[in-house]
């Protein structure tokens, strides 16, 4: 007899409470910097956080140093063997995962109308979408390096993103444009949804695309992103313990948050134009739209304002989109010995 997996219920009361919550530890550190040095200090902090090559925090303000020192470790429950299995899952499917992330996970996040507002207001994504896409690729391929989990670099990389979110949260709240009806900017519900988009939605996209995977590999990839999510500051109560829970959490958030919005449509259009510019052949201009529609499904695609395009499904499945520049993949690829271990 097959025993069904246990699952928690992610009800409105739970998600409503987390919608009003940011990241207390990171927010406190950023607020301390702002109190002592104002916007100039926050600008300097943001430049440091955006520099992916600088992993030293020794010259940062005291509050930031303390934050890194207090959070510079894996969660107590983290199992390195299970993490390694999650890394193996990624390196068995790096290009399909990159494609799925760009054409499914990112626009899927934009469908959450209230959460998309902070991205829309910040200007960072819509004004230089290609650079933001490169940064996403660099982060993704970076945290998939086993050696950088072993030497601790990945924890610092993830904590820098966590602090960057806190700085954006601070500026958003102090800019005078935020509508409290949207919830707290970069709140826990939206953070959980984004973490799910990088894990569960990727898994779902691989299935839709006919990529052969194992349930054990999928569960390991979800587990790896739970580790990353915890370091990013996502409340552990909002991290699904298995694929069944991930399904229920995704459905709960989508039901609550997915609706048409100017922000969602604008962000999707900016992403779409960026992907189209990377195509080697202008005759494939409709491919990114078709790929998004194929993965998202018509209801969400319509919600995001994606046009209807004529493109045969067999061509979608046979064509590879250059979601992230090749240099990112080449520079971030594991050593040949590590790849041999992953792909055996």
pLDDT digits (tens, 9 = 90+) for 23-68: 999 999 999 999 999 999 999 999 999 999 999 999 999 999 999 9
Backbone angles phi, psi at 79, to 5 degrees: -110, 115
- Model confidence pLDDT, tens digit, residues 151-210: 999 999 999 999 999 999 999 999 989 999 999 999 999 999 999 999 999 999 999 999
Q: What is the rounded average pLDDT of the residues 238-244? A: 97
Closest residue by Cα to residue 15 from 205, 191, 232, 277: 191
Closest residue by Cα to residue 166 from 29, 15, 56: 29
Scanning 297-335, the segments in alpha helix (DSSP H) are 298-303, 313-318, 326-332
**In angstroms, rounded to a whole number, what is the distance separating the alpha carbons of residues 81 and 96?**
24
Confidence band (pLDDT; 50, 70, 90) for 256? very high
Residue 201's pLDDT is what? 98
Confidence band (pLDDT; 50, 70, 90) for 2? very low
Number of CB atoms found within 10 A of residue 7's CB: 16
Mean of per-residue pLDDT scores for the chain: 90
Q: Does the structure show a pLDDT above 80 at 323?
A: no
Residue 50's pLDDT is what? 94
Residue 224's pLDDT is what? 99
**In angstroms, rounded to a whole number, what is the distance separating the alpha carbons of residues 204 and 222?**
11
* Dihedral of the alpha carbons of 305, 297, 128, 261, in degrees to the nearest 10: 40
Q: What is the rounded average pLDDT of the residues 138-150? A: 95
Residue 22's pLDDT is what? 98
Residue 329's pLDDT is what? 44
Q: What is the rounded average pLDDT of the residues 79-97? A: 97
Residue 318's pLDDT is what? 47
Residue 311's pLDDT is what? 62
Say if CB 274 and CB 130 are below 8 A apart. yes
Q: What is the rounded average pLDDT of the residues 263-278? A: 92
Say if CB 305 and CB 80 are below 8 A apart. no
Residue 35's pLDDT is what? 97
Cα distances from 46 to residues 59, 116, 168, 327, in angstroms, run 13, 21, 9, 25
Positions of E strands within 119-217: none
Higher pLDDT, 210 or 327: 210
Contacts of 278 (CB under 8 A, 6+ apart): 321, 322, 323, 325
Confidence band (pLDDT; 50, 70, 90) for 253? very high
- Model confidence pLDDT, tens digit, residues 56-81: 999 999 999 999 999 999 999 999 99
Residue 330's pLDDT is what? 45
Residue 64's pLDDT is what? 98
Residue 284's pLDDT is what? 79
- Model confidence pLDDT, tens digit, residues 289-320: 999 999 999 999 999 999 988 765 545 554 55
Find the angle CA(273)-CA(275)-CA(276) to the nearest 5 degrees.
65
Q: What is the rounded average pLDDT of the residues 324-336? A: 48
Residue 331's pLDDT is what? 47
Residue 325's pLDDT is what? 47
Residue 9's pLDDT is what? 85
Higher pLDDT, 127 or 179: 179
258 beta partners: 112
Q: Does the structure show a pLDDT above 60 at 333?
A: no
Residue 286's pLDDT is what? 85
**In angstroms, rounded to a whole number, what is the distance separating the alpha carbons of residues 196 and 191?**
9
For tokens 């695309």, name the residue.
209
């Amino acid at each position: 007899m097959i025993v069904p997996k246990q699952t928690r219920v992610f009800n409105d009361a739970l998600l409503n409470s987390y919608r009003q919550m940011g990241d207390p530890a990171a927010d406190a550190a950023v607020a301390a910097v702002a109190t002592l040095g104002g916007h100039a200090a926050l600008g300097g902090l943001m430049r440091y956080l955006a520099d992916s090559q600088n992993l030293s925090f020794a010259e940062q303000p005291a509050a930031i140093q303390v934050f890194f020192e207090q959070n510079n470790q894996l969660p107590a429950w983290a199992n390195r063997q299970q993490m390694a299995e999650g890394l193996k899952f990624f390196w068995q499917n790096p290009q399909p995962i990159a494609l799925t992330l760009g054409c499914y996970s990112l626009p899927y996040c934009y469908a959450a109308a209230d959460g998309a507002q902070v991205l829309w207001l910040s200007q960072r994504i819509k004004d230089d979408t290609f650079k933001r896409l490169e940064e996403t690729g660099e982060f993704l391929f970076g945290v998939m390096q086993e050696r950088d989990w072993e030497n601790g670099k990945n924890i610092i990389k993830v904590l820098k993103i966590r602090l960057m979110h806190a700085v954006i949260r601070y500026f958003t709240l102090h800019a005078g444009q935020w509508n409290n009806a949207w919830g707290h900017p970069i709140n826990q519900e939206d953070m959980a949804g984004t973490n799910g988009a990088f894990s569960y939605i990727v898994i779902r996209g691989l299935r839709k695309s006919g990529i052969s995977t194992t349930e054990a590999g999928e569960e390991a990839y979800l587990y790896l992103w739970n580790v990353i999510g915890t370091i990013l500051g996502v409340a552990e109560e909002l991290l699904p313990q298995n694929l069944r829970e991930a399904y229920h959490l995704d459905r709960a958030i989508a039901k609550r948050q997915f609706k048409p919005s100017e922000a969602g449509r604008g962000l999707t259009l900016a992403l779409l134009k960026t992907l189209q510019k990377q195509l080697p052949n202008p005759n494939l201009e409709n491919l990114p739209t078709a790929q998004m529609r194929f993965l998202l499904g018509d209801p969400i695609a319509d919600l995001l304002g994606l046009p209807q395009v004529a493109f045969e499904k067999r061509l979608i499945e046979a064509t590879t989109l250059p979601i992230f520049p090749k240099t990112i993949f080449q520079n971030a690829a594991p050593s040949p010995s590590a790849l041999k271990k992953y792909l055996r």
